[in-house]
Structure 1
């Protein structure tokens, strides 16, 4: 489904879109149309970034879920909806203060660690979205 139709069906403007086959026709790359809402603000924890996205989309969660079910049925697959977290750690800023008798390694990044609160879990349930987390280190 093209991003324009997704936008019309959900009533939400995306931050980014990709068109199936726009980089390479055979085999098509990207392999599917994509409609994205993103948070790329640096220095936020994963919890803060997810909260910003969910705050924007929570009121539309049931429509997003219904559309995901429809697209999964059309494609004969599952996993249309996805909350994707990609973190790149560029500047390690380890902390030295102990937490419950434990101490962070001097090279441990200050943004390590995150949790899923009840609202995030409810959003994932309503939208039928999968959670995909990728983390990379630079340097």
Structure 2
């Protein structure tokens, strides 16, 4: 059975966003998390992901290890906006595709969503439904 938690970090309705994303993905949604520079909260973890770990503690330790690196996303946003592409108003998302999965990080101001998807999952429809559900843009990266 998948694990779910209610959103506690996001100023927007991340639970509603998760439900919209789950209706949009064409393949598996392995995990859906909310995070900011300080905190990380898994909102959904599917059975396949849970089965990869010997215990929930091991899984949460791995997720925490991931968070120690994804918080650097917010520093990258500043690099892209202020240094590399100063005409850009915002960075909306970053996708990282690997042979085993695709990580999609979507930024909503000083908060973000981290989704683990199948490697061949198209990200544009997911980003579009997130934008629509959140009411985009809301002070994006300002």
Give the TM-score taking structure 2 as reference length. Answer: 0.24
Quick check: which one's helix share is greater?
A: 2
Quick check: which one's strand share is greater?
A: 2
